[in-house]
A and B are shown apart, each in its own frame.
Chain A
Amino acid sequence: MKKKIIVNAAIVICCTSCVAVKEYEKININDPDMNLSATSIKRFETNFQVYREGASGANGGKTGGGCGCN
Chain B
Amino acid sequence: MVAKQVEAVDVIKMKKQFILLVISCIAFNVLFAQVDPAQSSYKKKVLETAEVDFLMSYYTQDGKHASVTGGIGNEKLTDMTPTIVVTIPLNVDDVLTVDAGISAYTSASSSNLDPFDASGASNGEGSDDDDRRVFASDAKGSPWVESSGASSKDVWTSINANYSHSSDDRNSIWTANVGFASEYDYSSIGFGGGFTKLFNEKNTEFGIKGQVYIDSWNPRYPTELDSYLEAGQNLNNGFFADIDILNQSGDIIDKDGVQVWSPLNTTLLNDKSRNSYSVSFSFSQILSKNAQFSIFFDLVQQKGWLANPMQRVYFADRSNYYVGNASSIDNYTSPRNTDVFQLADDLERLPTSRFKIPIGARLNYFINESVSLRTYYRYYFDDWGIKSHTVNLEVPIKFADGKFTLYPNYRFYNQNAADYFAPFESHSSSSKFYTSDYDLSKFDSHQYGLGFKYTDIFARLKVFKLGLKSVDLRYSIYNRSDGLDSNIVSAGIKFVLD
Contact = CB atoms under 8 A, between A and B. Distances in A.
B390 A55 contact: yes
Interface stretch (B25-33, B127-135, B336-344, B356-364): B356-364
A31 B354 CA distance: 39
Q: How large is the interface on B (under 10, 10 to 19, 20 to 34, 35 or more residues)?
A: 35 or more
Nearest to A59: B360
A51 B186 CA distance: 15
Given A53-B413, A59-B296, A16 B287 contact: yes
B179 A44 contact: no
Q: How large is the interface on A (under 10, 10 to 19, 20 to 34, 35 or more residues)?
A: 35 or more
A35 B204 CA distance: 14
A31 B292 CA distance: 12
A22 B380 CA distance: 35
A22 B288 CA distance: 10
A8 interface: no
A40 B449 CA distance: 16
Contacts of A52: 61, 439, 445, 478, 480, 484, 486
Contacts of B364: 33-36
A4 B364 CA distance: 23
B388 A54 contact: yes
A41 interface: yes
A54 B124 CA distance: 33
Interface stretch (B140-148, B195-203, B255-263, B422-430): B195-203
Contact of A65 (B81, B276, B451, B484): B276
B174 interface: no
B156 interface: yes
Interface in B351-378: 354, 356, 358-360, 362, 364, 366, 372, 374, 376, 378
A53 B378 CA distance: 13
A58 B181 contact: no
Contacts of B386: 54-55
Contacts of B324: none
A17 to B, nearest CB: 5
Interface stretch (B51-59, B161-169, B226-234, B246-254): B51-59
Nearest to B449: A45
Interface string A12-41: 010011001111011011011111100111
A64 B356 contact: yes
A18 B364 CA distance: 19
A60 B378 CA distance: 12
A58 B366 contact: no
B289 A21 contact: yes
A66 B213 contact: yes
The binding surface of chain A is classed by DSSP as loop
Interface string B66-96: 0000000000000101000100000000000
B223 interface: no
B179 to A, nearest CB: 7
B185 interface: yes
Contacts of B290: 28-29
A39 to B, nearest CB: 7
Contact of A36 (B202, B292, B380): B292
A60 B181 CA distance: 18
Contact of A56 (B201, B356, B418): B356
Nearest to B380: A55
A25 B289 contact: yes
Interface in B301-321: 302, 308
B151 interface: no
Given A20-B201, A45-B476, A48-B488, A63 B300 contact: yes
Given A59-B376, A65-B211, 16 more contacts: A33-B405, A36-B364, A41-B474, A41-B491, A44-B59, A44-B81, A51-B439, A54-B440, A55-B380, A58-B380, A59-B360, A63-B211, A65-B276, A65-B278, A67-B156, A67-B181
9 contacts: A16-B287, A48-B79, A48-B486, A52-B61, A52-B445, A54-B388, A59-B376, A64-B302, A65-B278
Interface of A: 13, 16-17, 20-23, 25-26, 28-29, 31-36, 39-45, 47-49, 51-60, 63-68, 70
Q: Which A-B residue pairs are the 5 nearest by beta carbons?
A: A65-B213, A58-B360, A65-B276, A58-B358, A44-B57
